[in-house]
Amino acid sequence: MSRDDLASFREGALAAIPVCVGFFAITVAFGIAAQATGLPAGEVLLMSAVVFAAPAQFPAIELLPLSGQAMQILLSTLFINFRFAVMSFALVPHLKRLRTGGLMVGAQLVTMSTFAVSFLRFQRRSDHDNFIYFLGVAIPSYICYLMGTVVGYHFGVRIPAGFDEGISLIFPAYLSALLAAELRERRSIVVVGVAFLATPVVETLVPGWGLILNAIVVATAAIGVEAWWESVLPSS
């Protein structure tokens, strides 16, 4: 690894600190919940390692001890994690020069948080070091994720009362701060604002799909408006 690569990795790792704290807190809670269901430690850690997506893991640990639930668990996992396909698509233009082996390893580390932190950096500065930066964000986050699972399962460490509210908001606060600090283009700012406000409406209409469906609808509408605007004002 060259000096430039190390610097990019370090830049990603620093940006991942809030993600690590958030992942650790979430997976401690996951470990505690999984231990309470009676699942063995090895299976719980295996799930965190291969799925790496807490929203799909929490329902799975409730159903896994029951028999005959395999299909329901697998289908719900696919539906809940469908968002990763959209995120991977969005990363493609920024990881063009990467070989297949690198993509296959990196794919496992795509989550909402690692994607968001990396994507916003790529909007500001997209370069040959994109993948190293992504790994800098994702590898420490993955380690924190596994560590939190182990700590929660074996030690049942609970977040001190009064701090849980703050810790639960680390992710959204960090992402909103990243958006606020990084976004410059007016049209993208409008998309963010509309998507934020439309989320509860779409979530009410189609429960469970507010995140991805809302994004697709808002982005499609924005593209339509942008195309119309450019046809009306070709010089803008």
Partner 1 sequence: MGERVAVILGMGLGTYLLRVFPLLFAHQLSLGPRILRWFQFVSYAVIASFVWFGFTKGASPAGTMGIRIIALGLTILVAVRTKNALLGMAAGIAAVLILARVGS
Binders of partner 1 in range 67-96 (CB under 8 A): 67, 70, 73-74, 77-78, 81-93, 95-96
Give the tokens for residue 40.
């063995």
Binders of partner 1 in range 92-151 (CB under 8 A): 92-93, 95-96, 100, 103-104, 106-108, 110, 112, 115-116, 119-120, 123
Q: Is there binding between residue 37 and partner 1 (CB under 8 A)?
A: no
What is the smallest separation between the CB atom of 218 and partner 1, expressed in angstroms?
5
Give the whole-angstrom CA distance, residue 62 versus residue 33.
9
> In this structure, are residues 195 and 215 in contact, taking their beta carbons and an 8 Å threshold?
yes
Nearest 5 degrees, angle CA 39-CA 112-CA 109?
70
Q: Which of 62, 208, 227, 228 binds partner 1 (CB under 8 A)?
A: 227
Binders of partner 1 in range 16-35 (CB under 8 A): 17-18
Give the whole-angstrom CA distance, residue 133 versus residue 19.
14
Query: Between 3 and 184, whose beta carbon lies closer to partner 1?
Result: 184
Give the whole-angstrom CA distance, residue 82 versus residue 213.
11
What is the smallest separation between the CB atom of 14 and partner 1, expressed in angstroms?
9
SS3 125: coil
Binding mask 144-183 for partner 1 (x = CB under 8 A): ------------------xx-xx-xxxxxxxxxxxxxxxx
Which stretches within the chain are classed as H helix?
3-15, 17-36, 41-51, 54-63, 70-80, 83-91, 100-107, 112-124, 130-155, 164-168, 170-182, 186-205, 210-232
What is the smallest separation between the CB atom of 83 and partner 1, expressed in angstroms?
7
What is the smallest separation between the CB atom of 222 and partner 1, expressed in angstroms?
5
Query: Between 156 and 172, whose beta carbon lies closer to partner 1?
Result: 172
Q: Is there binding between residue 208 and partner 1 (CB under 8 A)?
A: no
What is the smallest separation between the CB atom of 51 and partner 1, expressed in angstroms?
5
Query: Between 4 and 205, whose beta carbon lies closer to partner 1?
Result: 205
The size of the interface with partner 1 (CB under 8 A), counted in residues, is: 92
Amino acid at 86: V
> In this structure, are residues 44 and 153 in contact, taking their beta carbons and an 8 Å threshold?
yes
| Residues in contact with 108: Cβ distance below 8 Å, sequence separation at least 6, in sequence order | 52
Q: Is there binding between residue 201 and partner 1 (CB under 8 A)?
A: no
Listed ranges 5-13, 28-36, 137-145, 211-219: which one lies at the site for partner 1 (CB under 8 A): 211-219
